[in-house]
């Protein structure tokens, strides 16, 4: 559990996003064999939640609320692409280093690019690897910053809304929230 807590600290304080990198770095710092004694991603996420409650109690909730409000604005803007919020902003373990991650659904990523151009939103393009069952697929991404909030849009085919990729945390289908669900989270914040 000590490795999980140190990995959580690395994720929270250093802005790392990759659980494996954080776990390996934590094991090295603690002198633990990283080949046999690494905690699960679920254990790290639980430790991250505990770390945030203990060390960031005053700042975490307001920061999370701000990120979720930014997500709602973006989801309204991208409503034509059936946006879904995913990742740390949805699960509640976001840090000040987190981006708002949205899944969009379109005939082509070019449709979203044209929309960004029409809205005069500068962006960078790339791709992200997602796991579906035992196979991996690269999905186009578009990244931009609004105010001081970074966004990552992953653009899936329209029918991709039916099958969520697997979560890197627990290996189950990734939790996705629509606009109404995110607005509901804000009411609870």
Q: Domain ranges in the chain?
A: 2-55, 60-188
Of 24-28, 113-117, 135-139, 175-179, give the lowest mean pLDDT range. Answer: 24-28
pLDDT class of 24 with cuts at 50, 70, 90: confident
Structure tokens at 98: 């987190």
pLDDT at 109: 97
pLDDT at 137: 96
Q: Kindly report the CATH number that applies to the domain delimited by 60-188.
A: 3.30.460.10
Q: What percent of the chain has pLDDT over 90?
A: 59
Q: How is the beta sheet containing 100-106 ordered, strand by strand?
A: 84-86, 100-106, 149-157, 135-146, 124-132
Which runs of consecutive H residues, i.e. helices, occur in 56-92?
60-77, 88-91
Token match 């790290």: residue?
44
Mean pLDDT of the chain: 89
pLDDT at 187: 87
CA separation (Å) from 108 to 82, 112, 159? Answer: 14, 7, 12
Q: Which residues of 54-92 are buried (b: 16+ CB within 10 A; e: fewer)?
A: eebeeebeeebebbbbbbbebbeebeebbbbbbbbbbbb
For residues 115-127, average pLDDT: 97
């Amino acid at each position: 559990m000590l490795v999980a807590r140190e990995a959580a600290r690395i994720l929270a304080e250093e802005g790392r996003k990759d659980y494996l990198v954080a776990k390996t770095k934590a094991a090295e710092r603690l002198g633990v064999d990283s080949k046999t004694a690494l905690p699960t991603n679920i254990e790290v996420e639980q430790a991250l939640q505990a770390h945030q409650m203990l060390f960031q109690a005053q700042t975490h909730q307001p920061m999370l609320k701000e990120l979720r409000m930014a997500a709602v604005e973006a989801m309204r803007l991208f409503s034509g692409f059936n946006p879904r919020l995913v990742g740390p902003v949805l699960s509640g373990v976001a840090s000040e280093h987190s981006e708002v991650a949205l899944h969009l659904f379109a005939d082509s990523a070019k449709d979203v690019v044209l929309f960004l151009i029409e809205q005069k939103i500068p962006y960078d393009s790339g791709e992200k690897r997602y796991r579906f069952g035992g196979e991996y697929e690269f999905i186009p991404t578009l990244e931009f910053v609004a105010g001081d909030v970074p966004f990552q849009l992953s653009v899936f085919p329209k029918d991709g809304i039916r099958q969520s990729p697997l979560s890197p945390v627990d290996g189950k289908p990734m939790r996705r929230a629509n606009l109404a669900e995110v607005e509901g989270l804000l009411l609870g914040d």
